[in-house]
Amino acid sequence: MQPFCFSCDVEYTLTMKMKLSLISAAILSTSLLLSPMASYAKLPIAVNGQQLPTLAPMLEQITPGVVSIQVSGSKEVRRRADPLEYFFGNPQPRSQKRQFSGLGSGVIIDADEGYVVTNNHVIQDAEKMVVTLEDGREFEATKIGTDKESDIALLQIDADDLTEVKLANSDKLRVGDFAVAIGNPFGLSHTVTSGIVSALGRSGLNIEGYEDFIQTDAAINQGNSGGALVNLNGELIGINTAILGASGGNVGIGFAIPSNMMKNLVDQIIEHGEVRRGSLGISGRPLDAGLAKAQQLDVKQGAYVMQVMDDTAASKAGIKAGDVIISINGSDISGFHELRSKIATLGEGREVKLGIYRDGKVKTIKVTLDGASGVPAAGDELHPAFQGATLENVQKNGTKGIEVATVDPRSPSARVGLEEGDVIVQVNRQRVENIRQMNKIIEDTQGNIVLGVKRGRESIFVLIQKVTRYK
């Protein structure tokens, strides 16, 4: 009988266990190779008694609140002149009406009243708008009001048994929050995509006049415009508006109008039939690291106040040049563009709380907003030739324009021929109704600028020769 060897037995046991493990692994791998369908089996509805996460229950509740909007109409289209037409003495009209049709999305925000919100560009120039619900019912919609500058439109349908999408407080959003987009891209009804909130307070994109976008990587494509961006609770956080991509398709960068901004605009449309913009009466710029260092400011972001106009909401509230506005109603702001958009869309007469950084301390100031039509602006913010003039949006005798409120007689604005009381109604033969429109045309102009001005009962033209624009 051989002597018992404990170490040998252990070695043998370990060896056998290793062999069995290898055999088991080989059998498992073989079975996987032989049965490929097993690796693609359906996910179970529960694991260890815990139900797997799914968006289905939430979507089943809110997708009836997202609608398809079909539009049709005609619009004036200018065509290029053909020299041969004049040669043969048969010139054709330079413009003609063309029929068009389009498809977008919308969101029911009030089931009782039948209110549907969408983008202005979805229904612009439309003569007929048909809203199609998830259950297939169709209703012709009535336009209640629009705001081109922020790209919001409010429609109304006469229908029963509607589902509305509840609004979330978009000021509470954080980068990284989950987001779900619902709409009708390319006519594919009630398409759902998911992603996250990629950024907040996006502006300066030149998409709209007033920008304070939510950026998301949830896939947004043509036809999604006007659709819903919701959180995981099924609450509306934004209205899908635009995409950024060279090909016009989704590249993971989409933009939505925040729900709070939309609600402020819609409330004004319902109450007044139009949007009445709010204004502080300041000029400013975004705060950056260089400016903060130069001014010895211990803040990282906000709106730096460069000038406070006399007799405005800002001057009455005690805001001063050199202040940094860092928040609105408790929500931080990233820069001057975001401040401008939020103030404008809050509306005339609204009381807001502004967080102000001054002399190393933060204080809260209450401000009652002016109406934008009566707010002056420094002329040199638009063009060097306007230096010494104060401009403001006005409406006189049913005509909207930009009034020259004051002119320094020794200033460049006086030298080009502007006088106090002039109302600018055209820039390079393009009709303008407000300062923003005039500023955009001036920015896009490379050569001379010709202003169409109403002076009393006369209509005159003021020439501003090309100059190097300063920053």
Q: Are residues 242 and 186 in the same domain?
A: yes
324: tokens are: 């940094």
Q: Are residues 392 and 365 in the same domain?
A: no
Does residue 26 register a pLDDT over 80?
no
Q: Give pLDDT, residue 382.
A: 67
Q: Are residues 174 and 268 in the same domain?
A: yes
Does residue 156 register a pLDDT over 90?
yes
The answer to whether residue 5 sits within a structural domain is no
What is d(CA 458, CA 105) in angstroms, rounded to the nearest whole number? 47
Domain CATH for 343: 2.30.42.10
Average pLDDT, the chain: 80
pLDDT digits (tens, 9 = 90+) for 237-246: 999 998 877 6
The answer to whether residue 471 sits within a structural domain is no
DSSP three-state, residue 201: strand
The answer to whether residue 386 sits within a structural domain is yes
How far is C-alpha 392 from the chain's CA centre?
A: 25
Domain CATH for 109: 2.40.10.10
Q: Is 217 in the active site? A: no
Does residue 168 register a pLDDT over 80?
yes
How many Cα atoms sit within 13 Å of 175 on the Cβ side? 7
Does residue 78 register a pLDDT over 70?
no
Q: Which of 339, 373, 407 is the last residue of a domain?
A: 373
Q: Are residues 256 and 174 in the same domain?
A: yes
Q: Give pLDDT, residue 337.
A: 81
Q: Are residues 366 and 382 in the same domain?
A: no
DSSP three-state, residue 5: coil
Q: What is the mean predicted confidence (pLDDT) over 133-159?
A: 92
Tell me how many domains the chain contains.
4
Q: Give pLDDT, residue 249.
A: 67
80: tokens are: 């290029």
68, 105, 121, 212: the catalytic one is 121
Q: Which of 373, 395, 414 is the last residue of a domain?
A: 373
Q: What is the mean predicted confidence (pLDDT) over 114-135?
A: 93
Contact predicate 150/209, CB 8 Å: yes
What is d(CA 220, CA 227) in angstroms, rounded to the nearest whole number? 10
Q: What is the mean predicted confidence (pLDDT) over 355-370?
A: 91
Does residue 23 register a pLDDT over 90?
no
What is d(CA 105, CA 345) in angstroms, rounded to the nearest whole number? 22
- Check residues 144 and 83 and name the one with the higher pLDDT: 144
Amino acid of residue 379? G
Q: Are residues 304 and 258 in the same domain?
A: no
Amino acid of residue 232? L
Q: Is 121 in the active site? A: yes
Alpha helices in 35-164 (DSSP H): 56-62, 83-87, 120-123
- For the ranges 73-77, 159-163, 298-302, the one whose mean pLDDT is highest: 159-163
DSSP three-state, residue 82: coil
Contact predicate 258/212, CB 8 Å: yes
Q: Are residues 341 and 328 in the same domain?
A: yes
Other CB atoms within a 10 A radius of the CB of residue 56 amount to 9
Q: Give pLDDT, residue 257.
A: 94
Q: Give pLDDT, residue 334.
A: 84
The answer to whether residue 162 sits within a structural domain is no
Q: Are residues 248 and 184 in the same domain?
A: yes
Q: Are residues 268 and 174 in the same domain?
A: yes
68, 105, 170, 225: the catalytic one is 225
Q: Are residues 369 and 382 in the same domain?
A: no
Does residue 181 register a pLDDT over 60?
yes
Residues sharing a CB contact under 8 Å with residue 71, sequence separation 6 or more, in sequence order: 101, 102, 103, 104, 122, 123, 126, 128, 129, 130
The answer to whether residue 360 sits within a structural domain is yes
What is d(CA 455, CA 303) in angstroms, rounded to the nearest whole number? 37
- Check residues 107 and 384 and name the one with the higher pLDDT: 107
Q: Are residues 384 and 451 in the same domain?
A: yes
Q: Is 151 in the active site? A: yes
What is the pLDDT confidence band of residue 62, given thresholds at 50, 70 and 90? very high
pLDDT digits (tens, 9 = 90+) for 90-111: 566 666 778 888 899 999 999 9
Q: What is the mean predicted confidence (pLDDT) over 453-462?
A: 90
Closest listed residue to residue 402, CA positions, set 440, 365, 353, 446: 440
Q: Give pLDDT, residue 427.
A: 93
107-111, 167-171, 248-252, 330-334: segment of lowest average pLDDT: 248-252
Does residue 4 register a pLDDT over 60?
no
417: tokens are: 């021929």
DSSP bridge pairs for 193? 181
pLDDT digits (tens, 9 = 90+) for 400-411: 898 888 888 888
Amino acid of residue 358? R
What is the pLDDT confidence band of residue 396, given thresholds at 50, 70 and 90? confident
Q: Give pLDDT, residue 12.
A: 35
Does residue 80 register a pLDDT over 90?
no
What is d(CA 174, CA 82) in angstroms, rounded to the nearest whole number? 56
The answer to whether residue 37 sits within a structural domain is no
Q: Are residues 358 and 409 in the same domain?
A: no
Does residue 39 register a pLDDT over 70?
no
2-16, 90-104, 290-304: segment of lowest average pLDDT: 2-16
Contact predicate 337/325, CB 8 Å: no
What is the pLDDT confidence band of residue 144, given thresholds at 50, 70 and 90? very high
The answer to whether residue 333 sits within a structural domain is yes
What is the pLDDT confidence band of residue 134, given thresholds at 50, 70 and 90? very high
Closest listed residue to residue 67, CA positions, set 115, 100, 101, 112: 115
What is the signed CA dihedral for 167, 173, 175, 179, rounded to 10 degrees? -20
Contact predicate 285/295, CB 8 Å: no
147, 150, 151, 198: the catalytic one is 151
Q: Give pLDDT, residue 20.
A: 37
Q: Which of 322, 354, 373 is the last residue of a domain?
A: 373
The answer to whether residue 165 sits within a structural domain is no
- For 222, the domain range is 170-272
